[in-house]
Each structure stands twice: as C-alpha cells, then as structure tokens.
Amino acid sequence: MTDIFTKVTSKLGPLGQYADQVHGYFTFPKLEGEISNRMMFRGKEKLVWSLNNYLGLANHPEIREVDARAAKEYGMALPMGARMMSGQTDHHEKLEQELADFVGKESAYLLNYGYQGMVSVIDSLLDRQDVVVYDSESHACIIDGLRMHLGKRYVYPHNDMDSLRKQLERATRLAEKTCGGVLVITEGVFGMSGDLGKLDEIVAMKKDFDFRLLVDDAHGVGIMGETGAGTGEHFGVQDGIDVFFGTFAKAFASIGAFVAGPKELITYLMYNMRSQIYAKSLPMPLVIGGLKRLEMIRNKPELREKLRTIASALQEGLKKRGFNIGNTESPVTPVVLSGDTPEGTNLTHDLRENFNIFCSVVAYPVIPKGMIILRLIPTAVHTLEDVEYTLDAFSQVKSKLDKGAYATGKIVDVL
C-alpha cells in the first residue's frame, strides 16, 4: 500500500516540478502597490503587461469610492448563508437583471467564481444521454466540467468549422439513439491566443442541426462589441447564444461571475447548481461594486476606445517589427518565440531585471517544446509611451534570443 502524501509529493506534476527554481519569481510572483500599468516587483517599479484589468476599473477612483463605502456599510459577511436559504437581497436581484439586460438575455444568475461556476453550469445542464461538442482550446474550467459528464463528448480542432460540422453530425446521430440533446461549447475570446470563437459560423449551423450553444465570454464581456456586451454582439449573433457565461475577474476587475439565458433555464440553474446551493452568497460589497462597474462599462465607452487604441498600437508595432502574435482579434497579445524553457525564463528575467517590464511567460510543459509565449495584456491605463518602450525592449531581447544569448541550458537562478 502507498501513502497518499508520499505518492503526490514525490511527483509534483508538470508545473510543480520546477517549484524549487521558479517559485516567487516566474510562478506565484508578488506584484505590489496600486493596480495600474506600473507596480512594484521585488522592490523595483515595473511596467506591467500581465493583468486582465482591461478597462482600468480596478483602481478607478469612482470604483474605489463605491467599494469602500459598501464595505463600510455592510462589511464582508452580509448576506450570511446561501442564496436559496438566507442569502437573497434586492441588490443581488438588481445586478442580475441589469446583467441580463446588458448581454441581451431574459434572466441571469450570479455565481461566486468563474472557474467553479462554469464547471457547475456544465454539470447541471447535462446528463448521461446528452452529447457535447467543444473546441479543443477550451479553458480548463470547461474541460474540468466535461470530465464530470457521464455521456459522450466530441472535440473539434480549434475553430475548425468543417470538423465541427462533422462532429455535429456524429453527435446528432448518437443523441437520436440516446434520446438526449446536443450542447456546443466554445469561448468568445480565447484567453491565451486572443483569437475569437467563430460564433457567427457556429450560430449559422443551427439551420442544419438541433443544438444549444454555451459561450464562455470571460475575456469578451465588457470589451467586445459596440456596447461591450460581448463577442456575440461583436459578430451580431448575441441572440444565437443560448447560455452566456461571463466573469467579473477581467474587465469588471472584481470577483464573481454570472450565467445568462432564458428565464426558465436560469430558474432551473438556481435550483440545481450545487456550487451555489451549498455555497455562501456573494458578499454585498462585491454586488454593489458590480453594479457600479456595470454602470461604468455602459456609460463610459471611452474606456473601450482607449483600450483599443493601446491594443492596436502594441499589436501593429509588434507585427511591424517582425514578431509573431498569432491570430489575435482581441486585446490579448501573445508574442510567440522559438526556444526552450530555460531560454524563455532567461529572456523573461532579462525583461524584468534590465528593462523593468513584467509580463507572463508560458513555456513547456504548458505549450509544446520549442515554443515560448510572452503574453501581453494591454489596458486602458497603459500609455502610448508604454507601448513604444516595450516595442524597443522586445526588439532587443529578440535579437539576443536569436544570437543564443539565453541558451544557457538551465533556468536562471532567481531565488
């Protein structure tokens, strides 16, 4: 017999295996100070490109004032208990209705967390007779939700619509045998690559197939579309999304999430989502803060315009300098480089220590060997000067990478 602790601690997993070398620097870094384009890291100011604070609401003075006032008036405990038992308030209901109106749906339901919420939505919607078809690059919360599904699931290569059609044909045949339904799941904005789910083409397939569509628009709600209602609005197919999922952790710069759709469906979820039935209600300051954030997203389109200006300048500048930024169609800006894991960490260390630029690095085993991705998130609080400085710095480190300056064969010692 094997001791459970011995078993798990002897193999820390694909990420944990590097913990002794990277913890506190490349993983679990501590950014300190006011949330903005410049923050402190290890006692030095850095230009930060790694926060999903798209619209700059995290530290907006109007937001801070409302958050502080709500915390002072209500504290973090109210309401006590789960929504179904003792955690219901007028403010929760108001935010839900305003969110539903914002994304063009009949009803909405607040969730405590995005990751947990998506897992629970999938679990609540499906039974073993149902068939799921999903994009291969779906977020981990979708994958983990599908792991709980006892029925059949089919995956199609990322944004491959020909494959999706073939998988829908398979799913339809199987669902007819099991007397189940078909659910298609994709993202609005894919958070790593920045490209968009082909929602217009997926919705158009409803003419040929009978399925429901669930869209995780965590990175789209608040910034995509004319009013910020999301990627469906961007494509003009918001009505074709049956279940709309959004989070407060990105453009809203808070904590929590919501799911929106037809009233009958939302009522069903309210009474069947175990992650909400058995969890404490979202604290009042977060709900009141959510109302203020939604108000600003609706009434301050200039924040989206500023974001788009910065994102466009950054992405166009990178492309002009020969960088590969993939197929991004959103503010998410991946810079794809060639190199091994030590080269990626050494390059990132150079950026942080010698250029004072803090961005996220992704390397093997998260992505295939031989690749390095530096992920940049432009926001409305960045400046064009920030962009120009970053472009110059990236050109310099790219030149050093090409010359083999980072090819030491080992991860730089940062501890």
Q: How far apart, in whole angstroms, are the C-alpha atoms of residue 87 and residue 84?
A: 7
Instruction: Give dist(CA 228, CA 298) in Å, integer.
Output: 7
pLDDT at 412 over 90: no
Q: Are residues 278 and 347 in the same domain?
A: no
Under a CB-based contact definition with an 8 Å cutoff, are residues 406 and 352 in contact? no
How many percent of the chain have pLDDT more than 90? Answer: 87
3-state secondary structure the chain: CCCHHHHHHCCCHHHHCCHHHHECCCECCCEECCCCCEEEECCEEEEECCCCCCCCCCCCHHHHHHHHHHHHHHCCCCCCCCCCCCCCCHHHHHHHHHHHHHCCCCEEEEECCHHHHHHHHHHHHCCCCCEEEEECCCCHHHHHHHHCCCCEEEEECCCCHHHHHHHHHHHHHHHHHHCCCEEEEEECECCCCCCECCHHHHHHHHHCCCCEEEEECCCCCCCCCCCCCCHHHHHCCHHHCCEEEEECCCCCCCCCEEEEECHHHHHHHHCCCHHHHCCCCCCHHHHHHHHHHHHHHHHCHHHHHHHHHHHHHHHHHHHHCCCECCCCCCCCEEEEEECCHHHHHHHHHHHHHHCCEECEEEECCCCCCCEEEEEECCCCCCCHHHHHHHHHHHHHHHHHHHCCCCCCCCCCCCC
Answer whether residue 75 is part of any domain.
yes
Q: What is the pLDDT of residue 410?
A: 81
Choose the final residue of a domain: 282, 299, 316: 299
Q: What is the pLDDT of residue 341?
A: 83
Residue 205 pLDDT grade (very low, low, confident, very high; cuts 50, 70, 90): very high
Residue 89 — pLDDT band, cuts 50, 70, 90? very high
pLDDT at 33 over 90: yes
93 and 81 in one domain? yes
Confidence of residue 15 (pLDDT cuts 50, 70, 90): low
* Claim to verify: residue 236 and residue 197 sit in the same structural domain: yes
Q: Are residues 227 and 271 in the same domain?
A: yes
Q: Is 92 domain-assigned?
A: yes
Residue 362 clears pLDDT 90, i.e. is over it: no
Return the pLDDT at 346: 92
Are 21 and 67 part of one and the same domain?
no
Q: Are strands 152-156 and 131-135 parallel, antiparallel or unpaired?
A: parallel
- Tell me if 413 is assigned to some domain: no
Of 7-21, 85-99, 331-345, 366-380, the one with minimum mean pLDDT is 7-21
Last residue of a domain, one of 299, 314, 329: 299
* Mean pLDDT, residues 116-123 taken together: 95
Residue 40: pLDDT band (50, 70, 90) is very high
In the prediction, which pLDDT does 317 show?
98
Question: What's residue 241's pLDDT?
Answer: 98
Other beta carbons within 10 Å of 352? 22
Q: Please tell me the total count of domains within the chain.
A: 2
Co-location of 116 and 212 in the same domain: yes
Last residue of some domain: 299, 321, 356? 299
What's the average model confidence in pLDDT over 107-126?
A: 96
Q: Is the dihedral of CA 141, 190, 174, 117 positive or negative?
A: positive
Residues 279 and 327 in one domain: no
Q: What is the pLDDT of residue 314?
A: 98
Does 311 score more than 90 pLDDT? yes
* In a domain? residue 174: yes
Per residue in 149-204, pLDDT (tens digit) is 999 999 999 999 999 999 999 999 999 999 999 999 999 999 999 999 999 999 99
Model pLDDT for residues 46-69, shown as the tens digit of each residue: 999 999 999 999 999 999 999 999
Average pLDDT over residues 310-324: 97
List the structure tokens of 46.
């850095």
Whether 367 shows a pLDDT value over 80: the answer reads no
Whichever domain contains 366, its CATH number is: 3.90.1150.10
**pLDDT confidence tier of residue 227, bands split at 50, 70 and 90:** very high
| Residue 191: CATH number of its domain | 3.40.640.10
pLDDT at 86 over 90: yes
Q: Is the pLDDT of residue 286 over 70?
A: yes
pLDDT of 12? 72
Do 307 and 257 have their domain in common? no
Q: Is residue 285 part of a domain?
A: yes
pLDDT for position 233: 98
For residue 286, what are the domain limits?
A: 61-299
Average pLDDT along the chain? 94
Structural tokens at position 210: 């009978």
Q: Which residues contact 399 (CB under 8 A, 6 or more apart)?
A: none
Is the confidence at residue 14, as pLDDT, over 70? no
